[in-house]
Amino acid sequence: MRGDLTDEEWVIIGGLLPPERGRWSRPAQDNRLFLNGMLYTNH
């Protein structure tokens, strides 16, 4: 999909995002989906 991060880009950027912890946390891959969506809508 246009705007999707490559695995190599995600390795770099994913580590800069705050960890998702606590009982209300989402799975980590949701951060990637959310960021891909932001990149897609900004094209």
Q: Give backbone dihedrals phi and psi of 41, rounded to 5 degrees, phi first.
A: -75, -20
- Are 13 and 35 contacting, i.e. CB atoms less than 8 angstroms apart? yes
Confidence (pTM): 0.59
Q: What is the pLDDT of residue 35?
A: 85
pLDDT band at residue 38 under the 50/70/90 scheme? confident
pLDDT per position as a tens digit, 1-32: 566 889 999 899 888 887 666 556 555 557 88
Q: How far is CA 31 from the centre of its chain?
A: 3
Length of the chain: 43
Q: Which residues contact 42 (CB under 8 A, 6 or more apart)?
A: 3
